[in-house]
Structure formats: C-alpha cells, structure tokens
Amino acid sequence: MNRNLDKSQAAVADYVTTQAKKALIKQKEFLLHGKIHAYVKNAFTEDIDLGSVFKTIENIIPLDFLSEVDIIYIGDFEELKERRVNALYDNGALYISNEQSSEEDLLDDIVHEFAHAVERSHGELIYSDGLMRREFLAKREKLYFLLKAEGFNFDDRLFMNPEFTEELDSLLMDEVGYEKLTSLTIGLFIDPYSITSLREYFASAFEFFFLHTDKKYVQNICPMVYEKIIELINYIEV
C-alpha cells in the first residue's frame, strides 16, 4: 500500500469537499421543497450552509403546511432590527436576518415563521373554538401573580389581552428580563417569547414540536397547542 498516495488522495478529497461547501455558502438562490424560492440578499455573518438547513426543513415540515409561503428573503433588514426580532412573516414572504450564530439558530427562526404562515392558512382550525386562547390567558394570569410576588406592579389588563402589545413586550424584555422570565415560567411556557401573544404561544410550541424529538414536552406544557398541531397533521394527511 502506498501511504503517501493515500494521504494525497485524502487531501484532494478534503479540498474538494471544502470548496464545494464554500460554494454552497456563497450561493445566492435556493429552492425549498422544489417550489419556494429563497434569495440571499446579504451574506450571512457566519458560515451558514443554507442548503443543509433547507434539507432538514424538507424532512420535518410538510409542503402542505407552506401553502402561504411564496418566497424567503435573507439579509440585513432594518425593520427586523427595529422590532428586535430575527425573522418575520408578512403577506406570503419570510424575512430572515443574515445575522445568525449557527445553522441551528437559522433553523429555529425559519420554522417559527412557518408557524405564522400555517396560522394564515389554517387559522379557523387553530383558533375558532377558543380553547388555546383560554389556556394561554390562564397562564398569563398565573404569570401576573408570579411577577407580583417578585415585586413587579404591572397593570393586570395587559396580561388579559391575547394580542401582541409593545407595552407588555417592553415590560417583559426590558424591566423583567428574559433570564428572570425563563426561571419564573419553567413548566408554564415553552420560552419567554411565547408569553408576548397568543400567536407567539402557538408559534413557539410549533417550533419546538417539529425541531425536537420530545413531543410530550409540548403536550405537557401546552396541551391545547399540542392537540391543534396533531389536528393539523391529521388534516393535511387526509
């Protein structure tokens, strides 16, 4: 056996693989599920393999869930910075920040926004019976009293509005802080962001359900959301 030849072949193979990966990272246009166009307007701040992220999405998110998604834009968008978010779904388009620390973070952002697209196409199935709203507001009420015990004196009416409000979002983010919120709401909410509105309550649970193997965690924390996700899966499979 020629060990030097083996090492040379291995070096060439590694070089080809590395160059191929670099080419994919620099690629500007992609297709998700062979139908949804994605355009990288501004390069990622880190080495992100968007093609690999899309392959993962294709394996976990059914195409039927994405009927309301026409295009995905990735870049440096001022509106995302103003809203202090990494991603946004609006009128058939996903806007994703190019500032991603890893492929896992990018995957989280995209799947979360897909949840909002699913709301648009299946909103009646998700919300019409009011069960998830009731579950959400009961948790909000419990959080209000937990915060009150910690010395925070907020208007309780803010916690009874299931819609997003900048006032409550600012109080939770700037005055309480996500670190304290996380410790206070373990076992109550999937994550601090899911507290901000009923829609984010659904989207955060949707994200966790499809990105983690422990589906029972969603069932234990958000039983009504879990039931809705199962209903959605059964609906598209009929």
- The 10s digit of each residue's pLDDT in 71-121 is 999 999 999 999 889 999 999 999 999 999 999 999 999 999 999 999 999
CA–CA gap between residue 58 and residue 53 (Å, rounded): 9
DSSP 91: T
Extents of the domains making up the chain: 24-122, 129-237
Per-residue pLDDT tens over the stretch 124-173: 999 999 999 999 999 999 999 999 999 999 999 999 999 999 999 999 98
CA–CA gap between residue 194 and residue 164 (Å, rounded): 10
- The values of phi and psi at residue 211, to 5°, are -105, -5
Residue 58 reports pLDDT greater than 60? yes
Which run of H or E residues covers position 47? none
Which run of H or E residues covers position 64? none
